[in-house]
Amino acid sequence: MLEAEREPEKLSKKRHLERVKDEKRDAISDVVTSLLTCNIPIFRAQQVKQGVLETADLEVSESFVRHVMRRDLQMGYRLAKQVPIQSNEERCLVLR
């Protein structure tokens, strides 16, 4: 309280930074949900970063995009494994 009375600008700067961070989080979540509703797979954080830059005209870092996707949206990722070409043949599907 004393610090706020001594330096009111410091408190206003802090609130402004929090508002900007919230705007970035909202923009990231909007881009991610729009990609997922259109059935567009998200391969990289750079893809979301580019979408935020185009739609909301905000500059975000890739680490912040990953942080929001993990913590706020509870999203994870898995590596896609290559399968042999023959794995989808009728014989292999029947044997499975």
Q: Per-block average pLDDT, block size 10, for the chain (96 residues)?
A: 72 89 92 90 89 90 91 81 75 76
pLDDT at 95: 76
- In angstroms, the CA 77 to CA 47 distance is 15
pLDDT at 23: 92
pLDDT at 4: 65
pLDDT at 67: 92
pLDDT at 29: 92
Residues in CB range of 64: below 8 A, 6 or more apart: 24, 28
pLDDT at 78: 73
